[in-house]
Each structure stands twice: as C-alpha cells, then as structure tokens.
Chains A and B, each alone.
Chain A
Amino acid sequence: MTQVANPIEFTPERLALVKDMITRYPQGKQKSALLPVLHVAQDQWGWLSSEVMDHVAELLSIEPIEVYEVATFYTMFHLQPVGKNVIEYCRTGPCCLMGAESVYDHLQQKLGITTGETTADGLFSLKEVECLAACGWGPVFQIREKYYMNLTNERVDSIIEELSQ
C-alpha cells in the first residue's frame, strides 16, 4: 500500500460535497451537517477511525468529542474496520414472520461467519440491524444503499456469489 503524508483527506469531489453540505444549514449551525458528513466519510474510508472523526470535527469547527458522541450513538456508523460488503440484516419481528431467522442461519453458514465478524478474504461483514422499513418485502438486508428483499436461501446464495466475483 502506498503511504501518503496525510492520509486523512477527503477526495476533491467529496470535499466539495462536504463544503456544500455545510452551507445548507443556517450560519453558525454548521454542526447540523455532522450526520451527512459522517456518511460521506464512511463512504470514503469504509469506517470511522478517530483520526477521521477528528478531521470531520476540524472541518465543522466543533470539538472531536462532539463527533465521537454522535458516531457512537447511531448504529449505521462502523467504529472498527469492516469488510468490503457489510450485510446489514433485519432481525425484527415482521421479517422473522417471513422466515428471516432461518435465512440468516443459512447466510451465516454460507459465509462461515457470525454477527460482528468479517470473512477472511475481507469481502463480507455481518451485522444484525433493527427494522429497515421494508416489512412487507421481508426477509430483507441491505448492503450500502441497496436493499435486497424477499430473501430466500437460494437468493442469498446468488447474491453472495455475484458479490464475490
């Protein structure tokens, strides 16, 4: 891996987006941009290290602790390195009525990992999440912004195979 002098820098496109996000909120309320900016940061680095969070604090002119306390509160932010595809699997009631538990067992077997783990090749991480607001199309999981719905063991197999290419 190439080492750069200061690895904690947004790409020019993302930096422009971050700056635009800050201007969306009233003057002096730039802290409002924190959640949107953390999503952009996670999109770039895959997870939020304390260095990344410090950098975000600097961009928003707020204290690092204000970023840490937010990043640790919301479940979408990864505070540890994760695999390339984080599978966020819904474990809530309505999906369970549609067989989500047995499909999840199958998914774990297929990947050889359980909740909170990452495959040895770094391709997949598994995370259990609460209701994703797709109950009529369950079982459901999401990978980044994409929803995968009406899951069955067979569909899980083909999704994993496709993403393993």
Chain B
Amino acid sequence: MAKKILLEHAHIDGIETFDTYRKNGGYEALEKAIKTMTPEAVVEEAKKSGVRGRGGAGFPMGMKWGFLAKPEGVPRYLVCNADESEPGTFKDHYLMKTLPHLLIEGMIISSFALGANKSFIYVRGELMYVIQILEKAIAEAKAQGFLGKNILGSGYDLELIVHPGGGAYICGEETALLESLEGKRGNPRNKPPFPAVKGLYQSPTVVNNVESIANMVWIITNGGDAYAAVGVGRSTGTKLISASGHIRKPGVYEIELGLSVDEFMNSDEYCGGIRDGHQLKALVAGGSSVPIIPANLVYKTANGEDRLMSYESLSDGGFATGTMLGSGGFIVYDETACIVRNTWNFSRFYHHESCGQCSPCREGTGWMEKVLHRLEHGHGHMRDIDLLVDVAKKIEGNTICPLGDAAAWPVASAIRHFRDEFEWHVTHPKEATQPGAVYRGEVELV
C-alpha cells in the first residue's frame, strides 16, 4: 500500500465529524504543538520537512514562513488559499469536503507557529456547500476548546474565518486573493512589497494552499525529518493528484512523490490506464497552465530516463520537452482529443479570467482566443500559427502576476509539439470542422 499522509482516514465513515476525526487521532498533533513546542520549533519542523507549496508554485513552505516580518504590535495573518480554480484541479475541493478537520487542525498549528490570532480560509464561492461543511467543523472544534480564546489553556487565542470568493480564477494568485479578502476587485498587487511584509490590511501575511497546510498535521506528529524521508530528492512527501480526462478511473489520488508516471497512469491503484480501446495522445500534468506534452514524452524524458511524478522529473527537459507538476491537475488526452480545440478552450478560459490590469495579458489573451477560434473553425491562415507563438512570447514575463505566463505556456507548447495538427486545420478546413473530427496524421500514440 502506498504511503498516505493526508488521505489515510479519508475512507472512514463520519470522518468529517469531530468525534470520528478525534477517535482516529485527530487534534493530537495540535495538542503536541501547543503543549510541548514553541512556535519557532513548529516552524523548524516545517523547514525540515521540505514541504513545497502545493498550489502550483512549489516554493518551500518553511522558507516562506521564515520570511514573515514580525514587527512589535502589528497583527500577523495566515490566509489559506482554497480558491482552487486551475482547470484540471479538484483535490482541495475533495480534501475539504472529506476531511474538514484535517485542514482546520493544520490551520491552528500553522497559525500558532506564525503567531496569528485571526486566520482566514478563502474558499472559492462556488463551493458554498464546502464552506458550510468547514463552518460546521469550526463550530465543533471551538466547542471542544481547540479554537477560540485560550486554546487548551495555553493562553493562545485564534479565530478562524471562512471567507467565500465571488467567482474569479485570478483570486488564486496570492495578492489578488488578499485584495479580494479586503472586499475589492481581485487585481494582483505589484511586488515588492511581498505579503510576508505587507499583506492583508498591509500587515505581514502568509498565504498557503489547503494541501500544504493539511500536511502540517502529519509533520508535527511524525517530525519534519520523517516527512523529508518520504518522496524523492527535493520533492519530499506525498502529493494529491487530481486525475481527469480519458482514463478509466478519474479521481483524487495521494501519491508518494517519485512514483513513476507509468505506474500512476496505468496501475489499478490509480488511473487504471487509458479508457478501453484507446491510446494516449497527450498529457497536461499539472493543471491547464503547464506545458502540454505528447505521448512519447510522458513515460520517458527526452534523455530516455523514466519520467517520475516529482517537481524535478516532470520539468526535466525544460519547456522544450518537459512539463511541470504544478497543482497536480493531471489531464489525460487520448487520440479522440483535438489539440487545437483544447488549446482554444484554454485560451478562452484565460481571456475570460484575465483581470485586465496589464495590457499584454488583457489584449494578448483576447488575441490568442480569437486566432485559435478561427483556426478551430476553419478560417485560419498558415501565418496564424507563428502569430500565436509571437503573441504568447510577448505576454510571457511581461505581466504583474503569473496569469500571463499561464496563458502563454499552453499555447506555445501545443504548437511546439503538435504543429502538424494546427497546419492541418488550415489546409483541411472542411474536414477539421466536422463534428468530432481529429487530425490523425503523424501523431505518435502510446
């Protein structure tokens, strides 16, 4: 059986209630932290664990905590980013609805470590039913003395607030999220200053993803070193993977980092292989923002090494032949998927979700959507393909926040690996616009 750090108890009936969670060892890590450890010691365990930001960026969480400014007399905040909106990603949704107390326990431990007395869980507004589950769990924890004033007699106070978003992908970007939490439009802020110095209400703030914070429970129980011993190299611990698309068993899986992509895709414990009678055509390994790779680069890197589910192995080969672990949104395409249509769909998403603040992103995402629309609908020209590459290049790196890059990479990578398919849409407009038509030329399937 694979190592489980987060989902070990996910299958237990009633685990979303306080009593069942408690009976299965819940809140013991919190007791250990608050009764026997200093906040600094908790931060130290986070650093030792090597756990990296699970929202997509992969920045070491302990190091991020270390940057938090601590001026006297100024409140500090912890904000949990539960604005999960990256296409292909639904693991935080699953984690929160299944194990709400795991996130709450992690939030209390992390808030204690950072010296925050008011912490927020910013949940995308569409997940209103999950917000209700979390609020119920918070009320239970409070009634048991694990939240509120003088937690477990320690003198430490914490108030935990669940805050709904209003429907905006951009609020997953941490400074946009803070703007939104202040009751404003979700426009990302210029950095510096970073949130660790001036964040929520201009106070020092840490923003962490749901899964990152939930890991703290196991880390405190077992120690940062034990966590670092799980996984491979700098990809420590486990990762929740949201698997979707043309596989036998879509769903959320916890894997030990370093598992081979082959095993994840094809073993019955995980995806169960490509759906019957079909073959793998392409993979988006970490949410819609990361580069798409063709089948021949999925199981092996360009150097012929086994491709692993880790930050390093998935990005092996850089943008030429690699992709990224990102948020763990694992989207699988078989030979029936049209890459041009999928790229147009993603471009429409980024155009729709661009906040409009930076011209390259606001205008560029619109142009890419328009050009891809005409290619997909049989009105494209050969020069459109290079035009797309050019527009993508001009967005990348030229915006305040990473949404610009996120919009550019899927387009650039799709053209890099599937140029023939784009050209076929230009040369065969009638065929390409038939319902369900897909290019079946020289695409290597596995």
Which residues of chain A have a CB within 8 Å of any CB of chain B?
Answer: 24-26, 29, 31-36, 38-39, 60, 62, 66, 69-70, 73-77, 88, 91-94, 96-98, 129-138, 142, 144-147
* Cβ contacts A to B, 19 pairs, < 8 Å: A29-B201, A31-B184, A35-B163, A60-B183, A66-B183, A73-B166, A73-B186, A74-B165, A74-B166, A75-B167, A93-B288, A94-B331, A97-B342, A130-B85, A131-B88, A131-B89, A131-B349, A133-B92, A137-B90
Enumerate chain B residues within 8 angstroms of A94, measured Cβ to Cβ: 87-88, 244-245, 329, 331
Which residues of chain B have a CB within 8 Å of any CB of chain A?
Answer: 75, 84-90, 92-93, 118, 124-129, 132, 159, 161, 163-169, 180-186, 201, 242-246, 250-252, 288, 329, 331, 333, 337, 341-342, 345-346, 349, 352-353, 355
Q: Are B345 and A92 in contact (CB under 8 A)?
A: yes
| Cα separation A20 to B55 with both chains bound (whole Å) | 31
Known: A32-B182, A130-B349, A131-B87. A76 touches B125 (CB 8 A): yes
Tell me what chain B mostly uses at the interface: helix, strand, loop, or mixed.
mixed
Other-chain residue from A35, A135, A144, A146 in contact with B87 (beta carbon distance below 8 A): A135
| Cα separation A60 to B169 with both chains bound (whole Å) | 26
Known: A29-B201, A93-B88, A130-B353. A74 touches B167 (CB 8 A): yes
Name A130's closest neighbour in chain B (CB-CB): B349
Q: Are A133 and B126 in contact (CB under 8 A)?
A: yes
CB of A70 to closest CB in B, whole Å: 6
Name A145's closest neighbour in chain B (CB-CB): B128
Q: Are A35 and B243 in contact (CB under 8 A)?
A: no
| Cα separation A34 to B169 with both chains bound (whole Å) | 18
Q: Are A36 and B333 in contact (CB under 8 A)?
A: no
Name B75's closest neighbour in chain A (CB-CB): A26
| Cα separation A136 to B85 with both chains bound (whole Å) | 14
| Cα separation A93 to B353 with both chains bound (whole Å) | 14
- Apart from A73-B166, A93-B346, A131-B169, what 7 extra A-B contacts exist at CB < 8 Å? A93-B345, A97-B245, A133-B93, A134-B93, A135-B90, A135-B331, A144-B128
Q: Are A135 and B244 in contact (CB under 8 A)?
A: yes
Other-chain residue from B86, B166, B180, B331 in contact with A75 (beta carbon distance below 8 A): B166
CB of A21 to closest CB in B, whole Å: 9
Q: Are A133 and B169 in contact (CB under 8 A)?
A: no
Enumerate chain A residues within 8 angstroms of B75, measured Cβ to Cβ: 26
Known: A133-B93, A136-B244, A145-B128. A36 touches B164 (CB 8 A): yes
| Cα separation A164 to B226 with both chains bound (whole Å) | 56
| Cα separation A90 to B127 with both chains bound (whole Å) | 14
Q: Are B129 and A138 in contact (CB under 8 A)?
A: no
Q: Are B183 and A97 in contact (CB under 8 A)?
A: no
| Cα separation A76 to B167 with both chains bound (whole Å) | 5
Known: A75-B167, A135-B89, A135-B242. A26 touches B201 (CB 8 A): yes
Known: A93-B87, A96-B345, A135-B329. A33 touches B183 (CB 8 A): yes
Name B342's closest neighbour in chain A (CB-CB): A93
Q: Are A35 and B250 in contact (CB under 8 A)?
A: no
| Cα separation A145 to B128 with both chains bound (whole Å) | 5
| Cα separation A141 to B182 with both chains bound (whole Å) | 29
